[in-house]
Amino acid sequence: LESSLLIQPWASVCFGESAFLAKACFRDTGYILLISDLSSVWYESADAEAVGQRSKELNKRLTVHVSSFLRHLCNLMCPLLAGKQDAATSFSCHHAAGGLSLHVKSELSGLPFYWDFHCCPAPVEMVSRHLVRPLIRMSLALQYQVQELTSLLLQKDAEIEDYVESGAVLSRDRLRTEPFREEIFQQNFMAEVRSGAR
């Protein structure tokens, strides 16, 4: 389950008034859920036996197979993670004893359906594997991309300067651009980031 979770994208979700990043993976054998508020990271991994036991405690009137519960949970969570929450389903969360509890209320087969995700703090290795390493890899990739684009812009400026020195003239003055200055660009960009403009 966790290896499948690695390829799932993070999604921005709201549970009540609280905003989180979350990702999840559901199978007939169980599920794994990872949630972060960018200060802490919590997770829950439950196999079919644990799901069956909890479903009996929370949904005494429902008598469906565990795989049906898991499919229903998937059908409730996946639209939420895709930004398409069902109006008939409500989510709420609260912090408890160092963990995070996510409460779900919906319907299944015409009857009320309840579920509680009991998330505990994620181990350091899990946080590193799912959050820190991907962020660092993406940061490095973006830095490389910026370097490549900067190099390309400087080459384009040199090409334009060569055209101008050869007597070329713009047919439309509105297309004229100032030569790219990397240091000034970086300073302006960082100033916008600090001011919250980006």
Using one digit for the tens of pLDDT, what is the confidence trace for 152-164?
Answer: 999 999 998 898 8
In this predicted structure, what is the pLDDT of residue 14? 86
In this predicted structure, what is the pLDDT of residue 84? 84
In this predicted structure, what is the pLDDT of residue 171? 83
Residues of the chain with CATH 1.10.287.450: 128-196
Question: Taking the model in full, what pTM does it have?
Answer: 0.76
Reply yes or no on whether the pLDDT at 197 is more than 90: no
The answer to whether 67 touches 48, Cβ cutoff 8 Å, is yes
In this predicted structure, what is the pLDDT of residue 31? 95
Phi then psi dihedrals of residue 73, to 5 deg = -60, -40
Helix (H), strand (E) counts: the chain: 6, 7
Reply yes or no on whether the pLDDT at 165 is more than 60: yes
- Out of 1.10.287.450, 3.40.1410.10, 1.10.4190.10, 1.10.10.10, the CATH code matching 128-196 is 1.10.287.450
Higher local confidence (pLDDT), 172 or 34 = 34
Residues of the chain with CATH 2.170.210.10: 1-122
Containing H/E element for 59? none
In this predicted structure, what is the pLDDT of residue 174? 83
The pairing of beta strand 41-47 with beta strand 90-96: unpaired
In this predicted structure, what is the pLDDT of residue 198? 55
Using one digit for the tens of pLDDT, what is the confidence trace for 98-147?
Answer: 899 999 999 888 889 899 999 999 999 999 999 999 999 999 999 999 99
* Alpha-carbon separation of residue 148 from 154, 187, 188 (angstroms): 10, 18, 19
What is the CATH T-level fold of the domain 1-122, as seen in this structure?
A: Dna Repair Protein Xrcc4; Chain: A, domain 1 (2.170.210)
